[in-house]
Structure 1
Amino acid sequence: MTKCQVPAVLIHQIVEELDKEEGEIMVFLCRDLVPDLATADLRELLMALNEREKLSLPGLSELLYRVKRFDLLRRILKTEKITVEFNLARSPRLVPDYRVLMVEINENLEKEEVGSLVFLLRDYAPRMKLAKDKSFLALVIDLEKLNLVAPNQLDLIEECFQSIHRIDLIKKIKKYKQEAFMSSVPSQPVYVNALQASLPNLSLIDPPYNSEIQNVNKEKSQNGQSFFQEEPVHMSIQESGPASHKVFNDQYRMQSQPLGICLIIDCIGNDTDVLEETFRGLGYDVHCHRHLDMDAMNETLLEAAGLQKHRNCDSFVCILVSRGSPQSIFCTDQTSTGFPLEQIKKYFMADSCPELRGKPKLFFIQSYIVPENEQECTSLLEIDGNDDKMIANAKIPLKGTIPQVADVFWSQCKVDVSTIEKSPTSSSYYLRCLAELLRNPHKRKQSILDIHTELNRKVYEWNKTMDPSQQYSLLLQHTLRKKLFLSPT
């Protein structure tokens, strides 16, 4: 057995652990390595690579890294994610960057978006099988067979992404093209050297280690085979923070001017000024509205969601202050059903506001909770205005405040309405602390999740000094896919 070969038992263990989707991704990544076995299953393909001395332990580690099975890296190959990243940055890689790019795009597409791509490609490939459950990678394979897509031929995919408003994916492809063009290694294929496209946690500027890390590439012999081992690591890649001007693919881009629209709707009227000053100082275009009824609220949200300015901005912020229930706000109407918070969020999701697709959307809600018995009393009040202006599902019971939609940061603070009734001119302690943290230049260098942790601590310290009826309850739900810093990165 040559030193390049991997023990069959390791291949068997890995194949058994992978699910169907992970196996398909790994097969896609290896298509160029054994073109005569493009239709083989994963086990057959890996064994063929092994027999042809194209598969090594570092190569197998790279494949597991690409499908994000970091647990198998540690348990079966006895190595760590950071070790693989370090070696990928300094050694030849097994998988072509074009394949890695396609896998990254696949991870960022929703099922309905792939369906839209299949539909759009009817004009270019009318004979292509149009299965409803076709994955993006399967679609790419079909296009490759028709010579419509190749490592240096991605214009068709770019046009389709333009049609479904996925500008973020177009930027990925353009970056890949630029790095491929700049490649100065004549012996490599045109698509080699797109390091940042292939390693989402690395920068081309700095390697993923510091002076404290030693012997990262240390090898240890086990049963005659060479396994990667490493010394304890003292700093992870994702802990580097925004202090330098590096842009990591695990961080949201925050470079636009302005950073985004900040919509403030304050139906109480005590917090607008400090919030406006805070977010204007952060670089947002702030739109303020006070004392809106539900008709005006609906119109304001629709208008804000339709702003074309979102296209050139990197984020969006919405701040709401109102009486309400845990699932809705009453604005100035104080009806029993109120305006569902669920619907407010939906106005700014990708299907309603495609210009914000893939961009962070932050919501900060201060709800002054009206007891249910008082809601029933106010339910006799009638709402003036055209019913057509009201949202269609305003009275549908809600199962939850926020569903699992990508790139949403949802912070809701609840306190009994008696708090504002006892002191009508007082501001929200929650919003006051938020503004204080965001205006602190040192705190602002932290991610929004770290800032919110500090905010949470302050709120609960406050609660220790207050009567239970005046205590704040803070809820955070988010579906952020990357780190978010509210400062240019």
Structure 2
Amino acid sequence: MGSPIEGTPIDGKAESKNDTTDALPGGMTRNHSNAARVARMPTDRYASEYNMRHNKRGMAIVFNHEHFDIPTLKSRTGTNVDCENLRHTLETLQFDVVVHKDLRLTDIHQKIENLANADHSEHDCLLISILSHGELGYIYAKDTHYKLENIWSFFTAPRCPTLAGKPKLFFIQACQGDRLDGGITLSRTETDSSDSQSMAYKIPIHADFLIAYSTIPGYYSWRNTTKGSWFMQCLCQELEQNGKKYDILTLLTFVCQRVAIDFESNTPDNPIMHQQKQIPCITTMLTRLLRFHEK
């Protein structure tokens, strides 16, 4: 039997025997389990798009945080506008939407564990959105902070096999630090012109995730107290206008465009925070195009 870092047979043909890993010193790895795990194939092997023809679109869970037990965290005025806009938008895309307000971390974990243990066999996908305060690497529940990995790791293929091979989408409205983006002005110059196969196959357990953050690591995320956060405003606008027209990465590209171009902070009484910009950050492990076709 070959070593764990050698190529393994695919379609009956061995891949290169020279495959290796960036392993820990001494050849150790953090995951020593090689047990065979099998889940139902929801999409043909080389399909270009995810199968969105199940009986239901899927669950959409929104964790909305306005008030906190932590004295240093201010109430997030405007988040309820985000929450209601997002609920309406996701319902138009035929998601079954459930909103949880101001939960403590133990309650969040319980909701997530129950969701991961549910049967998603007849669902196209899963969507989870978190609206809260945050800092680099952490998001806040009502009573403490946690890493996003503590949420999405419940939905890896071995832990939630009925979502294996299906899209798992996370939309995060939260700061990722306290840095500011002053932006740069672009001006036109004189030189500018005006003008399938159905055979069984193995996938990584972390495949088919997409995580969209409202801002890049290290930076503030802006929220208007009456209209809601910049990111959620743009996300809802794009999903409502083009959610059944474009694939999700195209949609999120236009969300980034809207946030980047259409918004600038307006705090003239605080010059340091005035006229600042923001750009969302998309992390994708999707393996196919995702479109919310009409059911």
The two structures have a TM-score, normalised by structure 2, of 0.67
Q: 1:411 to 1:436 in 2, by over 3 A?
A: same
User: C-alpha separation between the residues in 2 aligned to 1:293 and 1:425?
Assistant: 25
Contact map agreement 1:255 1:488 (CA 8 A) in 2: no
Contact map agreement 1:404 1:479 (CA 8 A) in 2: no
> What amino acid is aligned across from residue 51 of structure 2 in structure 1?
R
What pairs up with 1:49-448 in 2 under 5 angstroms? Answer: 135-137=8-10, 164-168=37-41, 172=44, 200=46, 249-268=47-66, 269-270=79-80, 271-308=82-119, 310-333=120-143, 335=144, 338-369=145-176, 371=178, 405-414=206-215, 416=220, 424=225, 426-440=227-241, 442=242, 444-448=244-248
Corresponding position of 2:261:
461
- 1:329 is displaced (CA, Å) by 0.8
Q: 1:464 to 1:275 in 2, by over 3 A?
A: closer
User: C-alpha separation between the residues in 1 aligned to 2:109 and 2:178?
Assistant: 24
RMSD in angstroms over aligned alpha carbons? Answer: 3.1
Helix, strand or coil for the counterpart of 2:174?
A: strand
Helix, strand or coil for the counterpart of 2:250?
A: helix
> What amino acid is aligned across from residue 57 of structure 2 in structure 1?
L
User: C-alpha separation between the residues in 2 aligned to 1:340 and 1:465?
Assistant: 28
- 1:265 is displaced (CA, Å) by 0.7
Greater relative contact order, per chain length (Cα 8 Å cut-off, separation 6+): 2
User: C-alpha separation between the residues in 1 aligned to 2:13 and 2:205?
Assistant: 28
- 1:369 is displaced (CA, Å) by 4.9
Q: Percent identity?
A: 23
- 1:488 is displaced (CA, Å) by 4.2
Contact map agreement 1:406 1:479 (CA 8 A) in 2: yes
Which consecutive unaligned segments of at least 5 residues does structure 1 have?
Answer: 1-128, 142-162, 173-196, 201-248, 373-402
User: C-alpha separation between the residues in 2 aligned to 1:328 and 1:257?
Assistant: 35
User: C-alpha separation between the residues in 2 aligned to 1:134 and 1:371?
Assistant: 44
- 1:134 is displaced (CA, Å) by 7.4
**Structure whose alpha-carbon radius of gyration is higher:** 1
User: C-alpha separation between the residues in 2 aligned to 1:460 and 1:413?
Assistant: 11
Contact map agreement 2:139 2:174 (CA 8 A) in 1: yes
User: C-alpha separation between the residues in 2 aligned to 1:361 and 1:288?
Assistant: 17
Contact map agreement 2:157 2:205 (CA 8 A) in 1: no
User: C-alpha separation between the residues in 2 aligned to 1:317 and 1:165?
Assistant: 23
Corresponding position of 1:476:
282
User: C-alpha separation between the residues in 1 aligned to 2:56 and 2:117?
Assistant: 17
User: C-alpha separation between the residues in 1 aligned to 2:10 and 2:228?
Assistant: 52
Contact map agreement 2:243 2:292 (CA 8 A) in 1: no
Higher strand share: 2
Contact map agreement 1:323 1:370 (CA 8 A) in 2: no
> What amino acid is aligned across from residue 137 of structure 2 in structure 1?
Q
User: C-alpha separation between the residues in 1 aligned to 2:112 and 2:225?
Assistant: 26
The two structures have a TM-score, normalised by structure 1, of 0.42
Q: Kindly provide the CA deviation profile for residues 224-244 of structure 1, in whole angstroms up to 9, marking residues without a partner as x.
A: xxxxxxxxxxxxxxxxxxxxx
Which consecutive unaligned segments of at least 5 residues does structure 2 have?
Answer: 15-35, 67-78, 180-203
Contact map agreement 1:260 1:315 (CA 8 A) in 2: yes
> What amino acid is aligned across from residue 263 of structure 1 in structure 2?
I
Higher helix share: 1
User: C-alpha separation between the residues in 2 aligned to 1:485 and 1:138?
Assistant: 29
> What amino acid is aligned across from residue 340 of structure 1 in structure 2?
K
